[in-house]
Amino acid sequence: MLYHTTWLISKLDPIKYMMESPALSGRMARWQILLSEYDIAYVSQKSIKGSAIADFLATRTTEGYDPLKFDFPDEDLMCITEMESESSKEKSWNMCFDGASNTLGHGIGAILVSPNGNHYPFTARLNFFCTNNIAEYEACIMGLRATIERNIEILEVYGDSALVVYQIRGEWEVRDPKLIKYSDLVAELIKEFKEITFHYFPREEN
């Protein structure tokens, strides 16, 4: 048989009276009978001075502890980005673009690189069927539009699609009817720049 002792700690004197009184009547007597089934020992709680608690907490302090601050003056901000200076916008920026189209889907991406070496990536998923060349044009156009929005005037563009790069440079003729509108759109975007050049590098170097 298991033996269990319950310790009852209380500040109320009536409970002590009920537990230790030899004769009770009425409701108090019934409570005493019900509680007598258990091995309950009444122990009065000792008083604790406020200074004792403060001294105990003082011994448990942590060096360098910084309390939580619940005031958030910028709680309405969604994100913080570093802004480029106006002087850096007048220098040459780099933009790399790439697109892919396969059975898994169609995705495009571009990265802007500032003269200070900061990188600004952009990615998107195309929700329509397209060829790999169309995906490359879409990636280039996305990168050019992002650059124009930042008022960048001098840009060097790099891509691993020889067809797209050489067509934009005017060295190759655009024969695919699906790419003519893309080529015309890129030509319009190029007019927004003071100086822009397109460079091709092999896919294995991308």
What CATH number was assigned to the domain covering residues 86-205? 3.30.420.10
Per-domain residue ranges of the chain: 5-56, 86-205
Residues 117-167 pLDDT 10s: 899 999 998 888 889 999 999 999 999 999 999 999 999 999 999 999 999
Q: Which bin fits 105, alpha (ψ -120 to 50), beta or left (φ > 0)?
A: left
Residues 27-41 pLDDT 10s: 767 776 776 666 666
**Stated pTM of the model:** 0.56
Contacts of 154 (CB under 8 A, 6+ apart): 90, 91, 92, 93, 193, 194, 195, 196
Strand pairing partners for 104? none
In terms of Cβ atoms closer than 10 Å to its own Cβ (0-12, 13-18, 19+), residue 157 is: buried
Residues 45-93 pLDDT 10s: 566 555 666 666 666 666 666 666 656 566 566 666 656 555 555 688 9
pLDDT of residue 128: 86
Kind plus residue range of the DSSP H or E element containing 19: helix 13-20
